[in-house]
Amino acid sequence: MVSLDVLNVSIKYMTGDFRNIGLKDYVVQKLTGKYQVKEFWAVDGVTFQLEKGDLLGILGVNGAGKSTLLKAVSGIMRPTRGSIDVKGAIAALLELGSGFDGELTVKENTYLRGALMGYTREFMQRTYDEIISFAELEEFENQPFKHLSSGMKSRLAFSIACLVSPDILILDEVLSVGDGGFKKKSEARMLEVIKGGATTLFVSHSMEQINKLCNKALWMEKGRQRAFGKAEEICGLYGEYLNNMNKK
Amino acid sequence: MINGYNRIIIKLHKYNFLFSELVKRDFKKKYKRTVLGMMWSMIGPLMQLLVMSLIFTRFFGRSMTHYTIYLFTGNIVYSYFRESTNTGMSALMDNAGIITKINVPKYMFLLSKNVSALINFLLTISVFFLFCAIDHIEFSWRFIALLYPVTCLLIFNIGLGMTLSALFIMFRDVQYLYDIFTMLLMYLSVIFYTLDGYAERTRYLFYLNPIYVYIRYFRIIVLENRFPAPSFHALAAIYAITAAAAGAFMYCRYNYKFLYYM
């Protein structure tokens, strides 16, 4: 059964200094014909299908369009061209550390994040203690969030996020959270979710990790799809490519 | 249409928990968890009222019996409008960290800010009624009709807030331009003066300003102790619906484009 169908997806990004101009400048530039927005295709013609239970690793150097593609699959962005067909509930864990509120306490932030992830209040009340103990933050519960170290912040973020049981799971470099001990624990936890039958997409810079975990892989370069297929094959190709790059 | 309406209802239900958490957050941040914090937010409008009534009673109060109440109605309605739209403007920008990472409906952030402003407004209204009692205003069941302009104003504020928050993401100087706009609007809202000096026809021009329409509604109920005409109700509703439609249009149109600017 196909659970994710990505068909010829392209995403156009706007760049340039349009972000920093005000309304007045905009009007003036429009009138004088100087207003320009540069566009580039962050993702360009990507096509692949995943069956239920598939584990896809996405490879590529920085700026290859991996994160943009995941944002489109998770519904935060909409593809400029092409279509994405998703069967079932999606949980996207993207760059977990951000989006918390420094002024609220750890507890309040936990509930807020849970709500943002689409959990119910009852669910949060039931699992709150579990979350805090998994994140090892029992002593910090009622402290302002800004007092936490960045490692603690991402630990909490991961602990809230990993409670999901979605049909499709999207992970953007979240398998590398925290220090040695927590990293092991978080990886084990994530594997549990994955083994629960979720179709998973994940970005990692560790080819080893992708080779070990995934059955399929997608290699992207400058927004284009270089290759899609069995994980071992793609990892082999990508490894060769990286070696050649280093020789040059 | 009906299908879309149903979808929104289901969504609203699903995000009930999120909404209450967002309201809690905005409330805690605004008042810093103190009762004094809540008092502070009322002190602003009250001080303004005090200064204005001290100064303007000499000019306008002589020919009018309840000048302080007249002033107060203008003040609370205008203050609510300004606070609500000002905080609404930054609603999306303040939550950029969340919007770019998690797929949640963006209007939630705006609605939550509006709830905070509304609660503040209701607090000031209770002080207003206290002043009414002190000033021997006769309370009647007609006061219930005040729910109508409050509802219209709420919808108007949400709609305008949507437009402003979208514009603010794209153009950061909207904040300063809007400051100038609200200041000008204040002088056009007949808050501390009366329209007695204007010709009958000219007076109607003031109804082009929605805020004045809502202020006038308050005054008709509280000071003139009668109901406004049906056409007046229609005008109040038209302004609210127009603002809401414009806001909804902005959000639908730019929903996925906001991301480029954050």
pLDDT per residue over A60-78, tens digit each? Answer: 888 888 888 998 998 888 8
C-alpha distance from A100 to closest chain B C-alpha (Å): 8
What is the model's pLDDT at position A63?
A: 82
Long-range contact pairs involving B47-54 (C-beta distance under 8 Å, separation at least 24): B48/B75, B48/B79, B49/B75, B52/B191, B52/B192
Q: What pTM value is reported for the model?
A: 0.88
Q: What is the pLDDT of residue A189?
A: 83
Question: Which tens digit of pLDDT belongs to each residue from A24-47?
Answer: 888 888 888 877 778 888 899 999
Determine the pLDDT at residue B14: 66
Chains A & B: contacts with CB separation below 8 Å: 76
* pLDDT digits 0-9 by tens, A80-109: 999 999 888 888 887 767 778 888 999 999
Residue type for position A122: E
User: Does the CB of A27 have a partner CB in chain B at under 8 Å?
Assistant: no
Helix (H, G, I), strand (E, B) or coil at B198: coil
A14 touches chain B (CB under 8 A): yes
Residue A58: is its pLDDT beyond 80?
Answer: yes
* ipTM of predicted complex: 0.84
pLDDT score at B12 = 65
Residues of B whose CB is below 8 A from A117: 102
Cβ of B103 within 8 Å of Cβ of A75? The answer is yes
* Facing B97 at nearest CB: one of A26, A98, A103: A98
Q: Which of B101, B260, B262 to mutate to test the interface with A (most CBs of A within 10 A)?
A: B101
**Chain-chain contact of A116 with B104 (C-beta, under 8 angstroms):** yes
Alpha-carbon gap: A237 to the closest alpha carbon of chain B (Å): 31
pLDDT at residue A154 is higher than 90: no
The structural domains of chain B, with segments of one domain joined by +, span: 43-261
**Amino acid at residue number B46:** L
A237 touches chain B (CB under 8 A): no
* A95 chain-B contacts, CB cut-off 8 A: 101
Digit-coded pLDDT (tens) for A121-131: 888 999 999 99
Report CA-CA distances (Å) from A109 to A105, A115, B21: 6, 10, 9
**Banded pLDDT at B4 (limits 50, 70, 90):** low
Count of CB atoms within 10 A of residue B120's CB?
A: 23
Nearest C-alpha in A relative to B100: A76
Report pLDDT digits (tens) over B56-112: 888 887 788 899 999 999 999 999 999 999 999 999 999 988 888 888 889 999 999
The class that CATH gives domain A2-31+38-247 is: alpha beta
